[in-house]
Amino acid sequence: MNLLRSVIFFIVSLLVTAFYGVLVPPFSFVSQKMGYALARSWGLQIVRLAKLICGIDYNIVGLENLPSTPSIVMAKHQSAWETVSLLAYMPRASWIIKRELVYVPFVGWALAALKSIAIDRKSGKAARDQILDQGREYLAAGQWVIIFPEGTRVEPGKKGRYGIGGAWLAANTGTPIVPIAHNAGEMWRRNAFIKRPGRVTMSIGPAIETKDKTSIDVIKQVEAWIENEMARLPSTTR
């Protein structure tokens, strides 16, 4: 049954993604606000389709922790589910992504059109400087910034190395960080075709203040909150 559900979900979500992927770039050229609204609509559709077809229900807790001013979101990265859900439920944001993603059909084209911060992760200081320069510009313009500090998806129960880029931006601009933990990888595993029914819990933590802190101190605090919260989240596959 899970295989059949996953096949249906793959076909339907591919059609939905192609539809929005074609629309977002031209609409973004006319209006970034309009383009992002379309992208957000796509995210909502994918989350709802995953629930309807694959039985991946979800509960988002801590929305009241979102600051009223532009902030930096740092989230655990286990699957594609959190990517679309963050797009759907977080304020309008610029995404820090690896450069290769902009070449992916439909999704990558939309990311490029929405002026994501596409970095070469192997470039070290150049990538960090790019994050600071572009991130400062977007924050000043009233946009949030979203980054997965581990850089790539990790298996449930495992932890990747937390990169310094987002913390560098936060410490140098005094921008608060909103940490997010979730257990989506238990239902929608990394690189797995078959999705399993269950209930995702996404936990949004209290904003972490970064003023007068070093980037090292900031990322350690972010990592501690996320990993401690991960240990508290329930295992809810069924």
CA-closest candidate to residue 147, choices 123, 125, 173, 117: 117
Instruction: Tell me the CATH number of domain 2-232, given options 3.40.1390.30, 3.40.50.970, 3.40.1130.10, 3.30.450.20.
Output: 3.40.1130.10
User: What one-letter code names the amino acid at 119?
Assistant: I
Indicate if the pLDDT at residue 237 is higher than 70: no
User: Do residues 173 and 136 make contact, with C-beta atoms less than 8 angstroms apart?
Assistant: yes
Say which range, 106-110, 155-159, 160-164, 233-237, has the weakest mean pLDDT: 233-237
Amino acid 115: pLDDT? 86
- Both structure tokens of 187: 């239902």
CA-closest candidate to residue 205, choices 229, 238, 175: 229
Contacts of 88 (CB under 8 A, 6+ apart): 40, 43, 44, 47
User: Do residues 188 and 10 make contact, with C-beta atoms less than 8 angstroms apart?
Assistant: no
Q: Taking residues 15-19, what's their average pLDDT?
A: 96
Q: Taking residues 73-89, what's their average pLDDT?
A: 95
- Both structure tokens of 144: 């949030």
Indicate if the pLDDT at residue 26 is higher than 90: yes
Portion of the chain with pLDDT greater than 70, in percent: 98
Q: What is the CA radius of gyration of the chain?
A: 17
Burial of 147 (0-12, 13-18, 19+ CB in 10 A): buried
Structural domain spans, the chain: 2-232
CA distances from 192 to 109, 126, 155, 186, 198 (A): 23, 33, 11, 11, 15
**Residue 47 pLDDT grade (very low, low, confident, very high; cuts 50, 70, 90):** very high
- pTM for the whole structure: 0.93
CA atoms of 166 and 190, how far apart (whole Å): 23
H-helix segments, the chain:
2-30, 32-54, 81-89, 107-113, 125-140, 165-173, 215-232
Amino acid 143: pLDDT? 95
Amino acid 236: pLDDT? 63
Residues listed for the chain: 238
* Residue 211: how many other CB atoms lie within 10 Å: 10
Mind listing the pLDDT tens digit for each residue in 143-194?
Answer: 999 999 998 899 998 999 999 999 999 999 999 999 999 999 999 998 889 9
Amino acid 238: pLDDT? 46
Q: Taking residues 69-81, what's their average pLDDT?
A: 96
